[in-house]
Amino acid sequence: MDTQKVIEYLDELVSSHTKKHLNDVQISILEGVLNGQKYNDIGKNIHRSKGHIKDEGYKLWQLLSEVLDEDINKSNFRSIVDRMTGTNISIINFSSMYANYSPRV
């Protein structure tokens, strides 16, 4: 399952539980964490401070913990997604990054 499909899946779960979809900052946090980024880098990408991303991340992990009935945080999120989807997200991200790669000759 690629990053986008993971986010769509989580958005559906959150929406069915709260009647609200994930917002842009939450989606950026999920994308960043799935791609191994630090909060500072995620913040830079969306023009927010590290503190803001950290605060929003905390709220997001609490929300996902409630929805999935499991203790979720930034450190264990990728392994939980791997277990939930039966795949290794880092392998999928690596292969999708190079899907259209053609070496210059």
Three-state secondary structure string covering 64-97: HHHHHCCCCCCCCHHHHHHHHHCCCHHHHHHHHH
| Dihedral, 39, 75, 78, 31 alpha carbons, nearest 10 | -10
Residue-wise pLDDT tens digits, 67-79: 999 999 999 999 9
**Extents of the domains making up the chain:** 3-97
Residue-wise pLDDT tens digits, 28-57: 999 999 999 999 999 999 999 999 999 999
Greatest Cα pair distance, the chain, in angstroms, is 52
Residue-wise pLDDT tens digits, 7-28: 999 999 999 999 999 999 999 9
